[in-house]
Structure 1
Protein backbone atom coordinates (compact mmCIF):
# COMPACT_ATOMS: atom_id res chain seq x y z
CA UNK A 1 0.00 0.00 0.00
CA UNK A 2 1.01 3.60 -0.43
CA UNK A 3 3.23 5.55 1.90
CA UNK A 4 1.21 8.06 3.91
CA UNK A 5 2.93 10.95 2.11
CA UNK A 6 2.11 9.42 -1.24
CA UNK A 7 -1.56 8.44 -0.93
CA UNK A 8 -2.81 10.97 -3.46
CA UNK A 9 -0.32 9.73 -6.06
CA UNK A 10 -1.25 6.12 -5.29
CA UNK A 11 -4.94 6.90 -5.95
CA UNK A 12 -4.14 8.71 -9.21
CA UNK A 13 -1.97 5.80 -10.40
CA UNK A 14 -4.65 3.25 -9.44
CA UNK A 15 -7.23 5.18 -11.45
CA UNK A 16 -4.92 5.39 -14.49
CA UNK A 17 -4.23 1.64 -14.25
CA UNK A 18 -8.00 1.05 -13.94
CA UNK A 19 -7.64 -0.55 -10.51
CA UNK A 20 -10.16 1.99 -9.21
CA UNK A 21 -13.18 2.84 -11.32
CA UNK A 22 -14.45 6.38 -11.70
CA UNK A 23 -18.04 7.12 -12.63
CA UNK A 24 -19.99 10.29 -13.21
CA UNK A 25 -22.49 11.01 -10.44
CA UNK A 26 -25.24 11.39 -13.03
CA UNK A 27 -25.07 7.61 -13.67
CA UNK A 28 -26.66 7.01 -10.26
CA UNK A 29 -29.99 7.88 -8.65
CA UNK A 30 -31.88 7.43 -5.39
CA UNK A 31 -28.75 7.87 -3.28
CA UNK A 32 -29.16 7.13 0.42
CA UNK A 33 -26.43 7.38 3.05
CA UNK A 34 -25.93 3.92 4.58
CA UNK A 35 -22.64 4.22 6.40
CA UNK A 36 -20.36 6.74 7.92
CA UNK A 37 -17.22 4.73 8.49
CA UNK A 38 -15.19 7.78 7.65
CA UNK A 39 -15.77 11.44 8.29
CA UNK A 40 -14.14 12.12 4.92
CA UNK A 41 -16.16 9.90 2.60
CA UNK A 42 -19.52 8.43 3.66
CA UNK A 43 -20.90 5.33 1.96
CA UNK A 44 -24.12 5.67 -0.03
CA UNK A 45 -26.51 3.16 -1.56
CA UNK A 46 -27.54 4.14 -5.09
CA UNK A 47 -29.26 2.79 -8.16
CA UNK A 48 -26.93 2.49 -11.16
CA UNK A 49 -29.35 3.66 -13.82
CA UNK A 50 -27.77 2.05 -16.90
CA UNK A 51 -27.35 -1.36 -15.25
CA UNK A 52 -30.41 -1.54 -13.03
CA UNK A 53 -28.24 -2.50 -10.06
CA UNK A 54 -28.19 -1.35 -6.47
CA UNK A 55 -24.62 -0.47 -5.55
CA UNK A 56 -22.64 0.94 -2.63
CA UNK A 57 -20.53 3.98 -3.50
CA UNK A 58 -17.64 5.65 -1.75
CA UNK A 59 -16.24 8.85 -3.14
CA UNK A 60 -13.30 11.14 -2.60
CA UNK A 61 -13.30 14.85 -3.31
CA UNK A 62 -11.19 15.81 -6.32
CA UNK A 63 -9.23 18.31 -4.23
CA UNK A 64 -8.83 16.04 -1.21
CA UNK A 65 -6.00 16.79 1.14
CA UNK A 66 -3.33 14.18 1.85
CA UNK A 67 -4.98 13.28 5.19
CA UNK A 68 -8.26 12.49 3.41
CA UNK A 69 -6.53 10.55 0.63
CA UNK A 70 -4.59 8.49 3.19
CA UNK A 71 -7.81 7.57 5.02
CA UNK A 72 -9.52 6.67 1.72
CA UNK A 73 -6.64 4.35 0.77
CA UNK A 74 -6.64 2.79 4.24
CA UNK A 75 -10.34 1.94 4.01
Structure 2
Protein backbone atom coordinates (compact mmCIF):
# COMPACT_ATOMS: atom_id res chain seq x y z
CA UNK A 1 0.00 0.00 0.00
CA UNK A 2 3.06 2.24 -0.07
CA UNK A 3 2.99 2.31 -3.88
CA UNK A 4 1.47 5.78 -4.09
CA UNK A 5 4.32 7.27 -2.06
CA UNK A 6 6.75 5.83 -4.61
CA UNK A 7 4.69 6.89 -7.63
CA UNK A 8 3.72 3.32 -8.57
CA UNK A 9 0.10 2.56 -9.43
CA UNK A 10 -1.65 -0.21 -7.52
CA UNK A 11 -4.77 -0.15 -9.71
CA UNK A 12 -6.04 -3.67 -10.36
CA UNK A 13 -3.23 -5.16 -8.26
CA UNK A 14 -3.32 -8.34 -6.19
CA UNK A 15 -2.26 -8.31 -2.54
CA UNK A 16 -1.05 -11.26 -0.47
CA UNK A 17 -1.46 -10.91 3.30
CA UNK A 18 -1.18 -13.16 6.32
CA UNK A 19 -4.61 -12.36 7.78
CA UNK A 20 -7.98 -11.15 6.55
CA UNK A 21 -7.74 -7.35 6.45
CA UNK A 22 -9.15 -5.33 9.33
CA UNK A 23 -11.66 -2.57 8.63
CA UNK A 24 -9.03 0.18 8.32
CA UNK A 25 -6.84 -1.94 6.03
CA UNK A 26 -9.91 -2.79 3.96
CA UNK A 27 -10.56 0.91 3.40
CA UNK A 28 -6.93 1.46 2.36
CA UNK A 29 -7.06 -1.52 0.00
CA UNK A 30 -10.18 -0.13 -1.66
CA UNK A 31 -8.64 3.35 -2.01
CA UNK A 32 -5.47 1.81 -3.49
CA UNK A 33 -7.49 0.19 -6.29
CA UNK A 34 -6.48 -3.36 -5.38
CA UNK A 35 -8.83 -5.91 -6.95
CA UNK A 36 -7.83 -9.26 -5.40
CA UNK A 37 -6.81 -10.29 -1.87
CA UNK A 38 -5.23 -13.61 -0.94
CA UNK A 39 -4.99 -14.23 2.79
CA UNK A 40 -3.79 -17.17 4.87
CA UNK A 41 -5.78 -16.90 8.11
CA UNK A 42 -9.06 -15.53 9.32
CA UNK A 43 -8.79 -12.87 12.00
CA UNK A 44 -11.88 -11.10 13.29
CA UNK A 45 -13.37 -10.90 9.80
CA UNK A 46 -15.38 -7.73 10.32
CA UNK A 47 -18.83 -7.90 8.71
CA UNK A 48 -18.61 -4.32 7.47
CA UNK A 49 -15.16 -4.96 5.93
CA UNK A 50 -16.66 -7.90 4.03
CA UNK A 51 -19.58 -5.72 2.91
CA UNK A 52 -17.22 -2.98 1.70
CA UNK A 53 -15.06 -5.47 -0.23
CA UNK A 54 -18.15 -6.93 -1.90
CA UNK A 55 -19.52 -3.49 -2.78
CA UNK A 56 -16.15 -2.50 -4.27
CA UNK A 57 -16.03 -5.69 -6.33
CA UNK A 58 -12.83 -6.86 -4.67
CA UNK A 59 -12.33 -10.61 -4.67
CA UNK A 60 -10.84 -12.26 -1.59
CA UNK A 61 -9.71 -15.81 -1.14
CA UNK A 62 -8.31 -17.76 1.77
CA UNK A 63 -5.29 -19.82 0.72
CA UNK A 64 -3.35 -22.48 2.63
CA UNK A 65 -0.29 -21.28 4.50
CA UNK A 66 2.86 -23.39 4.40
CA UNK A 67 5.91 -22.22 6.35
CA UNK A 68 7.98 -24.84 4.52
CA UNK A 69 7.02 -23.45 1.11
CA UNK A 70 7.86 -19.93 2.21
CA UNK A 71 11.24 -21.04 3.59
CA UNK A 72 11.92 -22.88 0.33
CA UNK A 73 11.04 -19.79 -1.69
CA UNK A 74 13.21 -17.51 0.46
CA UNK A 75 16.24 -19.77 0.14
CA UNK A 76 16.07 -19.98 -3.66
CA UNK A 77 18.73 -18.12 -5.57
CA UNK A 78 17.30 -15.66 -8.04
Specify if TM > 0.5.
no
Greater helix content = 2
Normalized per residue, which structure has more strand?
Answer: 1
TM-score (norm: length of structure 2): 0.22
Q: TM-score, normalised by structure 1?
A: 0.23
